[in-house]
Each structure stands twice: as structure tokens, then as C-alpha cells.
Amino acid sequence: MLTLLRNVELYAPQYCGNQDVLFAAGKILAIGHNLNINSELHQEIDGSGKQLLPGLVDPLAHITGGGGEGGFATRTRAMNLTDASLYGVTTLVGALGTDSISRTLEELIAKAKGLQQDGLSVYCYTGSYSYPVATLTGSISVI
């Protein structure tokens, strides 16, 4: 299915003015003024008064939850898709943070894979704030 977003204020990331944007299967196919589509298999959306910008990158996200420095009652919940997507974040890098006792690297990887299945691009930092650093391989060094 093709989707044509008409007359949207576009940032890519520089300001491009009002544009039409054609996309399908999560990919932008064309950007321009007054795009014409010769297909019955498309839908048009009026983007007047709306802004379209690239997805944002969060370079340090505690996807398995944060906090814990003040005890177990200060821990926060694990994030979900809408915690990122409602604010325009489409790519993030997960990290353990201070809690490497009750949260593990295995849990971090599993959460990252789940968020990827939900549609986000997710990467992970190795280790934690603790010393010695907890890792899946026993070392953060590359030999």
C-alpha cells in the first residue's frame, strides 16, 4: 500500500517547506510538490498544519528501568514502545546504569530485541556502572 502525505511541513533535518511525501513499507519513495500517483492502491492523508521530521536518537536509555541508587523503592519500570515513539525517538542505545544486581545484560539484550520487534532501532552498551564491569563475555576489551 502506498501512502501519500500531502502538504506537510517537512524537516529532513533541514527545513524543506511544505512538501508531499510518498512512502510504502516504512520507506520514503518520493518527496516533492504536487506529487501525482497513478495507482488505485494508495491512500492520501492531508498533512496541512502538521510537521514531519526524522526520527530522533536517544544515545543513553535505561530500557530495563532506571534508578535504584536510593534503594529498591526508587527503581523505575522498564520502558515500552510508546515511551520512545510518542516523543519522536526511533533509535536508542540501551544501558544498564547503576543497577547491575537486579538487572542483567541478558535482560537488557532481551528487552532490546523486544523493542526491535515493536519497530524501534535499538543498540546496547556493554557493561554497567559497577566495577569490575559486568559483561556477557567477561571482558569489555577486544583482543
Share of the chain above pLDDT 70, in %: 97
pLDDT in tens, 101-116: 788 889 999 999 999 9
pLDDT in tens, 61-84: 999 998 877 878 888 899 999 999
Residue-range domain boundaries for the chain: 2-52, 56-124
Residue 143 pLDDT: 54
If one compares 142 and 22, the residue with the highest pLDDT of the two is 22
CATH class of the domain defined by 2-52: mainly beta
Residue 142 pLDDT: 59
pLDDT of residue 12 exceeding 80, the answer is yes
pTM: 0.70
CA quadruple 125, 131, 138, 113: dihedral sign: negative
- Nearest CA-CA partner of 47 in 22, 70, 84, 67: 22
Q: How does residue 47 score in pLDDT terms, banded at 50, 70 and 90?
A: very high
Question: Which residue matches cell numbers 518527496?
Answer: 31
Secondary structure (H, E, C), the chain = CEEEEEEEEEECCCEEEEEEEEEECCEEEEEECCCCCCCCCEEEEECCCCEECCCEEEEEECCCCCCCCCCHHHCCCCCCHHHHHCCCEEEEEECCCCCCCCCCHHHHHHHHHHHHHCCCEEEECCCCCCCCCCCCCCCCCCC
- Average pLDDT value for the chain: 89
